[in-house]
Amino acid sequence: MKYTVITGASSGIGYEAALAFAARGKHLILAARRTEALDMLKNKIAELNSELDVVVRPVDLSIAADVHAFYDSLKGYSIETWINNAGFGNFASIGEQNLPKIEQMLHLNIEALTILSTLYVRDYANTPGTQIINISSGGGYTIVPDAVTYCATKFYVSAFTEGLAQELQSKGAPMQAKVLAPAATETEFAERAFDLDQFQYEGRVPKFHTAEQMAGFLLDLYDSKHVVGIVNGLTYEFELKDPIFPYAARAASKPVDSNE
């Protein structure tokens, strides 16, 4: 049995991605902080296909020790796809941003994603059919006013994942690494980013996708040979692309040391 791991699965893109992969008959390992929400999602998937194995792992991935423990708890499973979706945003000028919240965002958006990506690549890079998909943002390619720190975390995700993809290709490893960059998507993102109890996208955001639509784009990226799946910030069309950031390939031979 092979599994698809999805972090941040209790709501939004992660939740809809779980349903989309379940519709394809994929066994799932779902991680998020909210146990009740994960259990409800597991029950919903069971109603759609009772033959699927759905494993839930309540975990706070902003805590590094828990990230390692979470990965170690999956050693008994064969994982064919890993989706790092967990993350959150923040809107405030740099001088006014809430540092405890920012520190948690850095731990989750960058540290946890890097740890989990590294461990998964270490174990599965040479396994045919494996994929790692990291969720970035349009803000991982364009700096948004009053969201500079958040965008910086997503620039990291984009650059890290594009670099990983090219590193794997240069080594001839069968694993594929891909990055999904959504634009505005109707999820809990705005509520967390603005510290609101509720946020209504309709009537307030000129253009946006639903989380279900974004999960569909995620599957399009999953099915493709492209590295980047990005929503065009002007047209809001979804585009599949080759790596966007430049990659300085290693020199074919070592330069001769002048002292030799």
Number of domains in the chain: 1
Inside any domain, residue 248:
no
Inside any domain, residue 198:
yes
Nearest to 48 by CA among 29, 14, 21, 30: 21
Q: Domain residues for 120?
A: 2-241
Show the beta-strand stretches assigned E in 87-237.
131-135, 176-181, 185-186, 209-210, 228-231
Q: What does pLDDT average to over the chain?
A: 92
Structure tokens at 94: 């740099």
Inside any domain, residue 252:
no
**pTM for the full model?**
0.91
Please give the Cα distance from 39 to 44 (Å, whole number).
9
CATH number for the domain spanning 100: value is 3.40.50.720
Inside any domain, residue 259:
no
Inside any domain, residue 251:
no
Inside any domain, residue 213:
yes
Inside any domain, residue 258:
no
The string of pLDDT tens digits covering residues 103-155 is: 999 999 999 999 999 999 999 999 999 999 999 999 999 999 999 999 999 99
The string of pLDDT tens digits covering residues 182-206 is: 998 767 666 666 676 667 777 777 7
pLDDT reported for residue 185: 77
Please give the Cα distance from 28 to 171 (Å, whole number).
29
Question: Could you count the other beta carbons within 10 Å of the beta carbon of residue 260?
Answer: 4
Nearest to 212 by CA among 30, 9, 12: 12
Categorise residue 241: left if φ over 0, alpha if ψ from -120 to 50, beta otherwise: beta
Inside any domain, residue 254:
no
Q: Which residue has the higher pLDDT, 158 or 260?
A: 158
Question: Could you count the other beta carbons within 10 Å of the beta carbon of residue 234?
Answer: 8
